[in-house]
Amino acid sequence: MVVYVLCLMFFLVGIYCILRKRNIIKIIVGVIISEYAVNLFFLLVGYKSSGRSPILCSDRDVQYMAAHMVDPLPQAVVLTSIVIGLATTALLVAIAMRIYGKYRTFDITKIRELKG
Amino acid sequence: MKPGALIIPLFVAIPLAGAFINSVIGKKNKAISDIIGVVITAVLVVLSLLSVYYVNQSGLIPYSVGSWKPPVGIGLVLDGLSSFMLVTVNIVAFLIALYSVNYMERFTAKFRFFTLFLLMVAGMNGVVITGDIFNLFVFLEIASVASYALVAFGTEKHELEAAFKYAVMSTVGSLFILLGIVLLYSYTSTLNMADMAVVISKSGFSNIIIFVTVLFIMGFGLKAALVPFHAWLPDAHPSAPAPISAMLSGVLIKSLGVYTLCRIIYNVIGMNVVISEVLLFLGAVSMVIGVFLAIGQWDFKRLLAYHSISQIGYVILGIGLWTPLGILGGLFHLLNHSLFKSLLFLNSGAVEHATGTRDLKQMGGISEKMPVTSGTGLVASMSIAGIPPFNGFWSKLIIIVAAVQANRYGYAFWAVLASVMTLASFMKVMKYGFYGKLRAGLESVKEAPFYMQLSMVILALLCVSGGILLLPELRAMFLDSAQTALSQGTGMAASILNMVKI
Amino acid sequence: MASKEHGAGMSLIVKTVTRFTVGLIMLYGIYIVTHGHISPGGGFAGGVIIALSFIHLMLAYGKEAALSKAGKKTISLFESAGALMFLTIALLGYTGGYFFLNFFKDKGKPFELLSAGIIPLCNVAICLKVGAGMFAIFVVLILFKLNFEDDKRD
Amino acid sequence: MVELYILLIFMIIGAIVAIEVKDLLSSVVAVGAVGLALSMTFLVLKAPDVAITQLVVEILALIILIRATLKVDLPFSTTGRWFLNTVITIAFIGVLLLISLRCFSELPAFGYPIMRVAGTYLRDGLARTGATNLVASVILDFRAYDTLGEATVLFTAVIGVLALVRRVGRIKPGEKVEGENGQ
């Protein structure tokens, strides 16, 4: 439970950064931090205390090992979500670099063509 | 396996194959990517009509990917609501692909446009047919990532800025959704939506479910641009190229925001009075604030974008009423809105294509020069304003009648008020934009090219004839089956799981 | 100034060390991919490691050296080929009646390289796709940055 | 599980440093530190597959971000309603934390997941798919459809990046662009 709350705090640090910082790179940093936190949360949820990693080895009985493993589903799902996070980050960085090329700044208070 | 189950994965596989092939061979020859884009979306339209037929034949059709039975594997589900959304998405996508053949000549790298477009269609179809909550998230991200790139496709200053804003806010929405999925997984220990619904309905409504619901409403509300979360939409939708504006306003915010929200709230978490009140409130606020903000706009596309917020408010209001008639009205309005709003954006694109401006003050009197564009624009404006006998009238009428029947007179009043304001706003568009005296400097304006005209005319015909969906036979086939899928609520889960076991 | 620096690459020490390590990094990537179904790792991680080996080469020797080994056309061809291969594996499942069916009847002996049906094949497809994709993103972002440094007007 | 707490607190501090430090390059490097700590945390949580992936992704993301931020001016400004907006944001975050305190006690306790569906993967994974790495058997067989989606997201991002860095986006009427695809 304490672990979950700490992890949520980690998430909220990122959200705070996205909502309050006025620099494009900082906003991307905030997005990355929040993604990390959600991925971590997924793995925390699947952890089994004193469990072993879900990879079988040849010298033990399968059923015995299966009873002492952590949950493999969150691991599989987190792999997918890490990749999705990377894809989003790459696209955001590309947009940010284009914006920098046009405006010569990363400060979004100076990038205001649109009214909102 | 039920008949018709085999076509379900094709809704994703065909556009994906098209996108991959397009990115290899489309660079050589422009015509190839046009053909791939149009033919594939046309095939998808046929498949989606076929899916309506199959759903009416055999009811709900589950499919297990890779023969792994849910909840172990990923289950796809085709029911009335899915086939309804598939028809909406694919018809609009087909017409927009047709329109883009001419329109996107103005942009470089057309084959990349069609690749991203097909990926977006694949993402939306994937969201609609899936029965697994994490799979829903993955396809939601495909459609979102493709749409970020498409909004910035022109690579001008304001387009990049709008795309960045949209991408960040939408990513925050995705993160909230993913956090909600994590909590639900921990609570129910499954990712299959039907299985989840069974567990949740057994355990009752606990604090964790409330928290998850709040996260989902925030996340999907960001995707659907409900009012407190709408700030990105008036920038992103006008900045995109016109076909993409039509796609985003027409179907993307619906399949990623509204469909997912009501699917999860009705069929997974289970509707209750509190959620219904929240949805009604959000819907009414979006409806009224969207239209008030729209009235003051002089940029044609920006005005349309604010109207999208307002019309999404109607849909949410109808669905939030939690009565069969309300849900039916909301879904019917969703279909109608995707038709007339994409038509309006295509009109604005045609005008911009011909005159180079989208400022209403600099347009004027172009109806003489562009009869097809302004004629179809008139049809769409009357539809959105709710003038009989166009389709928008019927759906708004149903929503208002449903609100009155549910004793929600206040909300019915706001709906009528927003409708009147919409009418006023579009009177302005017609007066300044299309009719009146021809403005100097626009004498040499030409009508839009053939494919653009064709897709606008087809959409206008659909808008005029939309009302026939309310005829009893058609209604039972199409709208009612979509509505029952939602009204069944969490009861649907048990029947899915039963069918899978056999 | 920046573009000249990239054209020439880094110092001799870096280049020499790179020459020894690039092959090893790539070999490690290939190992991770092909043993993805037996030990930790898999197509994604291995693909990124292979992409990193090319990025390593590019940072040390400048962009021409790396691009001559893997040109832009080759990259995008590999990427699409990987994606199509993965989709084809998925569609081949239809021969057994289901999308994404693991259609090999004989799954092989556990702990051997050729086991687990479609899983190693999928790993290879993902590796192609991811490696090429990651390298493409990197190349494009760097080239773009150089472009706009040359061109102050934009 | 002391190491888990230490790593978590380290990551939170690293994140706060990353968002508050004035220099953009330092900020990006701080994110890199957080990512490496995250990779270690994954190892502590017995997820070697995820740890490897996180490590390589971290390196790649760091390289891309550093390329983007090198030699860039670092302006910082505060908008007009800075105080009010910050108060609202912090209030929102505080409310979310308070709600979560009540909710998380209803989740299964940390270290004791239910594992209803996951038990099937562990018991039958080897027999049914033949892969001894059960995570691989989940991502490429039981849930391979997700992985197709994942690969597609990456493909979309690559195509998107390629589309975004075109030098010329629109063709003005009457203007010829050499090189057809604007690159």
* Average pLDDT estimate for C120-142: 84
Question: Mind telling me how many Å the CA of C109 is from chain D's nearest CA?
Answer: 7
pLDDT tens readout for residues B462-486:
988 888 888 888 888 888 888 888 8
pLDDT at C14 over 50: yes
Contact between B323 and B289 under an 8 Å Cβ cutoff? The reply is no
**What is the rounded CA–CA span in Å between residue B52 and residue B78?**
9
Q: How confident is the model at residue B172 (pLDDT cuts 50, 70, 90)?
A: very high
pLDDT tens readout for residues A96-107:
888 887 777 777
* Average pLDDT estimate for B187-214: 86
pLDDT, averaged across chain B: 87
Residue with tokens 């209403």, as numbered in its chain: B360
pLDDT of residue D81: 62
pLDDT at B177 over 90: yes
CA-to-CA dists, residue A107 to A27, A99, D66, D76, D79, angstroms = 10, 10, 17, 7, 11
**What is the rounded CA–CA span in Å between residue A79 and residue A82?**
5
B62 φ, ψ (degrees, to nearest 5): -90, 160
D window 70-109, beta carbon within 8 A of B: 99-100, 102-104, 106-108
pLDDT of residue D182: 46
pLDDT at C115 over 50: yes
Find which of B42-51, B264-273, B486-495 is predicted with most confidence, using mean pLDDT.
B42-51
Question: Mind telling me how many Å the CA of C67 is from chain D's nearest CA?
Answer: 16
pLDDT at D87 over 50: yes
Q: What residue numbers bound the domain in which B356 lies? A: 273-486
* D39–chain A Cβ distance below 8 A for any pair: no
pLDDT tens for chain A, 116 residues long, are: 788 888 898 999 999 888 888 888 888 999 999 999 999 999 888 888 888 888 777 777 777 777 788 888 888 899 899 989 999 998 998 888 888 877 777 776 666 665 54
Closest CA to B455 of B88, B98, B46, B44: B98
CB contact under 8 A, C40 and D68: no
**What is the rounded CA–CA span in Å between residue B132 and residue B155?**
36
Percent of chain B predicted with pLDDT > 90: 26
For residue A12, give the CATH number of its domain: 1.10.287.3510
Contact between C50 and C131 under an 8 Å Cβ cutoff? The reply is yes
Chain C residues with CB under 8 Å of D62 CB are none
B window 143-202, beta carbon within 8 A of A: 145, 148-149, 152, 155, 157-158, 160-165, 167-168, 171-172, 174-175, 178-179, 182, 185-186, 191
pLDDT of residue C7: 47
Q: Which residue from C minimizes the CA distance to B7?
A: C99
pLDDT of residue C148: 56
* D115–chain B Cβ distance below 8 A for any pair: yes
Contact between B227 and B313 under an 8 Å Cβ cutoff? The reply is yes
What's the domain count of chain B?
A: 1
pLDDT of residue D180: 47
Chain A residues with CB under 8 Å of B184 CB are none
pLDDT of residue C151: 46
pLDDT of residue C146: 60
Q: For the purposes of burial, counting CB atoms within 10 Å of the CB of B202, is it exposed (0-12), middle (13-18) or buried (19 or more)? A: exposed
* B5–chain A Cβ distance below 8 A for any pair: no
pLDDT tens readout for residues B306-349:
999 999 999 999 988 888 899 999 999 999 999 999 999 998 88
Domain boundaries, chain D: 1-73, 117-170
Q: How confident is the model at residue D177 (pLDDT cuts 50, 70, 90)?
A: low
Is residue B198 in some structural domain?
A: no
**What is the rounded CA–CA span in Å between residue D119 and residue D128?**
14
pLDDT of residue D38: 92
pLDDT tens readout for residues B8-63:
888 988 998 898 888 888 777 778 888 888 999 999 999 999 988 888 888 888 88
pLDDT at C2 over 60: no
B window 37-96, beta carbon within 8 A of C: 63-67
Q: How confident is the model at residue D69 (pLDDT cuts 50, 70, 90)?
A: confident
Regarding pTM above 0.95, the answer is no
pLDDT tens readout for residues B394-445:
889 999 999 999 888 999 999 999 999 999 988 888 888 788 777 777 777 7
pLDDT of residue D12: 92
Chain D residues with CB under 8 Å of B111 CB are 181
**What is the rounded CA–CA span in Å between residue D8 and residue D2?**
10
* C100–chain B Cβ distance below 8 A for any pair: yes
Q: What residue numbers bound the domain in which A65 lies? A: 2-48+61-103
Contact between A1 and D105 under an 8 Å Cβ cutoff? The reply is yes
pLDDT of residue A116: 47
Is residue B285 in some structural domain?
A: yes
Contact between B463 and B340 under an 8 Å Cβ cutoff? The reply is yes
What's the domain count of chain A?
A: 1
CB contact under 8 A, A29 and D123: no
Is residue A17 in some structural domain?
A: yes
Is residue B7 in some structural domain?
A: no
Residue with tokens 């589900």, as numbered in its chain: B77
Q: What residue numbers bound the domain in which C139 lies? A: 2-150
pLDDT of residue A111: 67
Which one is predicted more confidently, B142 or B501?
B142
pLDDT tens readout for residues D34-66:
999 999 999 888 888 889 889 888 888 888 888
**What is the rounded CA–CA span in Å between residue B239 and residue B245?**
8
HSE value, Cβ hemisphere, 13 Å, CA-based, for B304: 34
